[in-house]
Structure 1
Amino acid sequence: MHPNPAFRHADRALLDALLDQVGFGMVFAATPDGPRVAHVPLLSTGDGAVQFHLARGNALTKHLDGATVLIVVNGPDGYVSPRRYADDDQVPTWNYVALELEGRVRRMDGDGLLGQITALSDKHEARVRDGEPWTMDKLSPARLKGKMAAIVGFEVEVLAWRETLKLSQNKSAEDRASAAAGLEGEGSRAIAQLMRTLGGTE
Structure 2
Amino acid sequence: MRQNPSFAMTDVGEVRRIIEQNPWATLVSSTDDGLVASHYAVLLDDTRDDLTVVGHVGKPDDLIHGLGDRELLIVFQGPHGYVSPGWYGDRPSVPTWNFVAVHLRGVPELLPSEENLRVLDRLVARFESPMPEPRMLWERPNDPEFVDRLERGTAGFRLTPTSVTAKRKLSQNRPTELVDHIIRELEDEGPHHNPTLAAEMRRANDARA
Matches of residues 1-202 of structure 1 in structure 2 within 5 Å?
Answer: 1-46=1-46, 47=48, 48=50, 49-58=52-61, 61=64, 63-128=66-131, 130-131=132-133, 133-138=134-139, 139-185=142-188, 186-200=192-206
Q: Percent identity?
A: 27
Gaps spanning 5+ residues in structure 1: where? Answer: none
SS in 2 for 1:26: strand
For structure 1, which segment, 46-55 or 101-110, has the greater mean C-alpha deviation from structure 2 after superposition?
A: 46-55
Which contiguous aligned blocks of 4+ residues in structure 1 show a shift greater than 4 angstroms?
59-62
Aligned residue identity for 2:116 = L
Which deviates the most, 192-201 or 172-181? 192-201
Confirm or deny: 8 A CA contact 2:187 2:193 kept in the other structure: yes
Distance 2:113 2:64 in 1: 15
Contact 1:26 1:72 in 2 (8 A): yes
> CA-to-partner distance for each residue in 1:16-64, whole Å, 9 max, x for gaps?
1111111110111111221111101101114232111111122754611
Number of residue pairs the alignment of both structures matches: 200
Distance 2:93 2:65 in 1: 48
Larger relative strand fraction: 1
TM-score (norm 2): 0.88
Contact 1:31 1:60 in 2 (8 A): no
Cα distance between partner residues in 2 of 1:8 and 1:97: 10
Q: Once superposed, what is the RMSD of the aligned Cα atoms?
A: 1.8
CA distance in 2, matches of 1:178, 1:96: 17
In the superposition, the TM-score normalised over structure 1's length comes to: 0.91
